[in-house]
Amino acid sequence: MTAQNTIVVIDDESQIRKILSITLEAQDYKVIEAAKGKDGIIAVANYHPQLVILDLGLPDKDGFSVLADIRTWSSVPVIILSVRDSEDSIVKALDLGADDYIAKPFNTKELLARIRANIRRVQLIDNESIVENGNLRIDFVKRLVYKNNLELKLTNTEYLLMQIFFKNIDRILTHNFLLKEIWGPTHTEDTQYLRVFIGQLRKKIEDDAANPKYLITDSGVGYRMMAVGN
């Protein structure tokens, strides 16, 4: 069981840790601070936090390996802190399974909103076997997807994709991440697979496949299922 309202902050800069602690504690989160990546990993293992904030500028060794390590045994949501001009590191972190990112210097309200959103997503999925989004619905137990209450005929791969998207609504899923999840760690070059399957899915789930509102492209990065209202 995860510890309610506990957040682990992994950052080598004590100033930023302090600012984050004060900000988060004011919102009644319990904060565990770690200055080094190794300590951060141990803290996540011991405290089972509800969320992790990880600064990519760690000197100890790079934040990526910390994230990769955590991801081998935990699906706790991880928000990345990074400098603005490092688009590449953001994508690399998302590839490894980071849930969200925020650029330094960050704005407090934005950070809090992202924390809430990421915690909410995990709670939603953990407790539901059926999830709705717009006029779509997925049943994780029966492994079926419906559009306007009509069952869609999906192939196995198509269903796997839908499952991942429904479990990560509003989260950017990188090409690499999706390929690893579905085709395993070897096919990270085969982005074209994704294009073909995304295209097929759009034909089935979108009202207008040429102007998708569910499966959105983040050019150069990946795809994302948008939350759609009713």
Partner DNA sequence: CGAATTTATTTACAGCGTATTTATAATCTG
Partner DNA sequence: CAGATTATAAATACGCTGTAAATAAATTCG
Q: With CB under 7 A as the contact rule, which of the stretches 29-37, 66-74, 125-133, 150-158 interacts with DNA?
A: 150-158
Is 158 a binding residue for DNA by CB under 7 A? The answer is yes
Is 147 a binding residue for DNA by CB under 7 A? The answer is no
Shortest separation between residue 157's beta carbon and DNA, angstroms: 3
Tokens of 21: 């602690």
In one letter, which amino acid is 200? Answer: Q
Which residues make Cβ contacts (< 8 Å) with residue 223, sequence separation at least 6? 165, 172, 173, 178, 194, 198, 215, 216, 217
Query: Which of residues 15 and 156 has its CB atom nearest to DNA in the complex?
Result: 156
Is 185 a binding residue for DNA by CB under 7 A? The answer is no
Cα end-to-end distance, the chain, whole Å: 33
Query: Which of residues 220 and 229 has its CB atom nearest to DNA in the complex?
Result: 220
Shortest separation between residue 192's beta carbon and a second copy, angstroms: 19
Shortest separation between residue 168's beta carbon and DNA, angstroms: 17
Which of a second copy, DNA, none does residue 217 bind (CB under 5 to 8 Å by kind)? DNA
Which residues make Cβ contacts (< 8 Å) with residue 168, sequence separation at least 6? 121, 225
Is 168 a binding residue for DNA by CB under 7 A? The answer is no
What mask, x for binding DNA by CB under 7 A, covers residues 58 to 87? ------------------------------
How does DSSP classify residue 212? -
Helices (H) and strands (E) in the chain, counts: 8, 12
Instruction: Name which position in 5, 23, 157, 188 contacts DNA (CB under 7 A).
Output: 157
Instruction: Name which position in 155, 207, 213, 227 contacts DNA (CB under 7 A).
Output: 155
Task: Using CB atoms within 10 Å of the CB of residue 24, give its burial: 0 to 12 exposed, 13 to 18 middle, 19+ buried.
Answer: buried
Is 156 a binding residue for DNA by CB under 7 A? The answer is yes
What whole-number distance in Å separates Cα of residue 35 and Cα of residue 65? 15
